[in-house]
Amino acid sequence: MATYLTPALAWRRLREGNERFVSGQSSHPNQDASRRSSLVENQHPFAVIFGCSDSRLAAEIIFDLGLGDAFVVRTAGQVIDDAVLGSLEYSVSELAVPLIVVLGHDSCGAVSATKTAVETGKMPIGFIRDLVERITPSVLTSLRNDQHEVNDMVVEHVKQTSQRLVDSSRVISTAIDTGRVAVIGLSYSLAEGRAEFISGVGDL
């Protein structure tokens, strides 16, 4: 059964799921055999969650979701590339998802590596360098704003990533302009389990 929500209602549903998770009262919805069977022919997720690949940041768990609820895209440091943008555009244009969530977290290893690279001038080897190069603008902005802690840089990176999604994708920006989609940035606390609102683009 299709469930079409407004961006505001989708965000409310995520908030409520995260509250259940934080309080230890997760209901583990939509995880049974009948739900699995109902999704064989199609899917109607109500949010797309673009988050860090960190093993402690499992989107379906921290928002107390089940099968078919969220379209999830993950890269280390929630770094954008063409595949990420294509995946997000697919969720908006083909699956009619009303809410895009950019999900960062405290003590992020990718952001920490970027902070070290900026401070020492020594870049990591291999493709980790590509991650660091993409996160560097966020770290530099934090430093310019006299914010030197990794968690401040995480917040800045979530803000910049959210805005870059909108600036980079005409599909996403058009959907926002018509009021069909909103983009929100969240920062997750590893210790507390809470996803805090940081920024939003579009009507919520």
Question: How much is the pTM?
Answer: 0.94
Q: How confident is the model at residue 192 (pLDDT cuts 50, 70, 90)?
A: very high
Q: Quick check: is 117 in a domain?
A: yes
Residue 203: per-residue pLDDT: 85
Q: Quick check: is 100 in a domain?
A: yes
Q: Quick check: is 2 in a domain?
A: no
67 neighbors 35 (Cβ within 8 angstroms): yes
Q: Domain containing 170 — which CATH number?
A: 3.40.1050.10
Number of structural domains found in the chain:
1
What average pLDDT does range 158-180 have in this prediction?
Answer: 96
**pLDDT surpasses 80 at 127:** yes
Q: How far is CA 182 from the centre of its chain?
A: 12
47 neighbors 3 (Cβ within 8 angstroms): no
**pLDDT surpasses 90 at 204:** no
Alpha-carbon gap, residue 6 to 34, rounded angstroms: 26
Phi, psi (rounded to 5 degrees) for 174:
-65, -40
Q: Quick check: is 92 in a domain?
A: yes
Domain span at residue 162 reads 7-201
**pLDDT surpasses 80 at 4:** no
Residue 3: per-residue pLDDT: 57
Distance spanning both ends of the chain, measured CA to CA = 24
What average pLDDT does range 60-79 have in this prediction?
Answer: 96
pLDDT digits (tens, 9 = 90+) for 78-123: 999 999 999 999 999 999 999 999 999 999 999 999 999 999 999 9
Percentage of the chain surpassing pLDDT 90? 96
Q: How confident is the model at residue 34 (pLDDT cuts 50, 70, 90)?
A: very high
Q: Quick check: is 186 in a domain?
A: yes
Q: Quick check: is 178 in a domain?
A: yes
Pairing mode, strands 182-188 and 195-201: antiparallel
**pLDDT surpasses 70 at 1:** no
What average pLDDT does range 58-85 have in this prediction?
Answer: 96
